[in-house]
Structure 1
Amino acid sequence: MGNSENLLTIMQMITQADQLASQKDADSYIALFSDDGKIEGTQGSATGQEELKSMVQNVWKNEGHTLHLTTSVIVNDWTDTTATASSILLIVDSDSLKNLSVAQISHTLKRINGKWLFTKRIIS
């Protein structure tokens, strides 16, 4: 995989994660993480597939019907096997279209068995 393919894959993954959050698809969302993947941030912390799934399901249930909109994706650094990136997440109520929150997200990724996976997402 060349540099531009890696860059595009990472940027698409970040956007896909937020789209899956809008769809409340916990299984597909968690599949984007390594087995020991982590989320840290304003809604708590979780490590590993089971904790991550439980956490996101609880957070999304409390949100109601929302759109998770990704902007300003920047891949800061990457090699053939690791990457760091940042993005802005805007969460909007689907019914009223009111802004519920804005967050800066830091992403750490690793290519495992040829596939890019999140090892950590920090939401602040």
Structure 2
Amino acid sequence: MKIEPNQALAFSTGMALILLVLTAGVFGRPDFLVRYVLVAAGFSAAYVVINTLIERRAVVLPPPLIPERVIGLPIGMVIPLLVLSFAATPVFLPGQDFALLIIIATVLFGLTVRSAMRVRRAES
């Protein structure tokens, strides 16, 4: 079974987002853990649905984050590293509200999911 690079990118970004939500809930304000989970799930679902509707009207679809023929390091591979650095922030700044970091990471996760969905649709 061949793993497509855009699907691996979406999976690794999703795991980094889960780590961010957990570290924000543990080291940030612990009473906001449910809020963080709802924000992450809601924003990622909303981004994917809205982006899908917008792309249906587009004349030219945007290319996937990682092209079929990879030459060098794709810029899309930086996204999980950025989300992991967001996940380290609550450890160094405990007791804060990290909802904005979660929203930014969720939009980046939605971007990688849409990229994986575009490649999957092109294959079938």
* TM-score, structure 2 normalization: 0.31
Structure (1 or 2) with the larger CA radius of gyration: 2
Q: TM-score, normalised by structure 1?
A: 0.31
**Structure with greater strand percent:** 1
